[in-house]
Amino acid sequence: MNISISTANLYHIPFETALRIYKKAGYEFIELAGYWKGGEWEIAQHLKDINPKDAIQMVKDSRLKISTFHDMGGIIEEGAESVVSDLTYEYMKYYDFPCIVFHAPHRKNADKEWWENYKPVIAGDLKALDPKILLCVENLSGFHADYFMPLIQPEEMLEFLDANGFYANIDTTHYAQAGIDIAHAASILKNKVKTIHISDHADNKKHLFIGDGNLDFIAFFSNINARELHSVTVECDISADNEEAIVAKAQKAKLLVENLIQ
């Protein structure tokens, strides 16, 4: 099991600078979050004008290792019916990712019938990827009323994962946004959890720095089979006024995670 940190935390600064910060903060592993734009969202904007080959070379030059690649899509739109984005296939040409994390698929103005028909599509798309890659599906929160978002309840997620041989990426903030206790979710998904996106939550504020919210991480990790984890990824607010302060905050997050998983 490794501790990594998401490049998406620092989407607002140049990608190479983000990598330098994480190296200075003592990280060996990162989660590379690919650029994505769709629906009403744009994510990992610092990679917008950098092609995947160059982005991977920047990571190699930084001497960081990629623990997970995060396909930041998941919105299923007309003309783009796959949960796997085109850029993900492109990135896979240049790096042997040990693990890829996908958001649970969601669609605007859809309903349960759409989801029942789409289940075999997502299963087929993911199973068609390299069988050596650990495939993890991330829980979402139901954060937008216009979108039908399945797999929010951990019991439903478990049924889907068991049926297809996939694994879970638990996002702690997303469960909190959905009003689901993270320790309960961990107890349900325990044997399927391979990756975690850790951040805190309080008063509808999402992805807070660890300890700045009210989530019970001790109870959460007591219900996780830590020996079976692939990675725990810091995906929280590490913003600060200057580079050295960001480095210090990233270092502190790493130490907090290390203490939680002991």
| pLDDT of amino acid 90 | 97
Structure tokens at 92: 């896979």
Structure tokens at 138: 């991330």
3-state secondary structure of 220: helix
Residue 202, number of CB atoms within 10 A of its CB? 12
71: which strand partners?
102
CA distance 187 to 171: 14
| pLDDT of amino acid 80 | 74
Low-confidence ranges of the chain (pLDDT < 70): 39
Structure tokens at 50: 């950098």
pTM tops 0.75:
yes
Tell me the one-letter amino acid at 19: L
| pLDDT of amino acid 145 | 77
Structure tokens at 123: 């299963």
| pLDDT of amino acid 52 | 98
Residues 6+ apart with CB under 8 A from 158: 168, 188, 189, 192
Complete DSSP assignment for the chain: -EEEEEGGGGTTS-HHHHHHHHHHTT-SEEEEE--EEETTEEE-GGGTTS-HHHHHHHHHHHT-EEEEEEE---B-BTTB--SS-HHHHHHTTT---SEEEEEPPBEET--HHHHHHHHHHHHHHHHTS-TTSEEEEE------TTEE----SHHHHHHHHHHHT-EEEEEHHHHHHTT--HHHHHHHHGGGEEEEEE-EEETTEEEEPTTSS---HHHHHHTS-GGG-SEEEE-S----SSHHHHHHHHHHHHHHHHHHT-
Whether the Cβ atoms of residue 76 and residue 107 lie closer than 8 Å to each other: yes
Domain ranges across the chain: 2-260
| pLDDT of amino acid 262 | 80
- CA-angle at 82, arms to 135 and 7, nearest 5°: 55
In CATH terms, the superfamily for domain 2-260 is Divalent-metal-dependent TIM barrel enzymes (3.20.20.150)
| pLDDT of amino acid 81 | 84
For the chain, counts of helices (H) and of strands (E): 9, 14
Tens digits of per-residue pLDDT, 211-233? 999 999 999 999 998 889 999 99
| pLDDT of amino acid 1 | 93
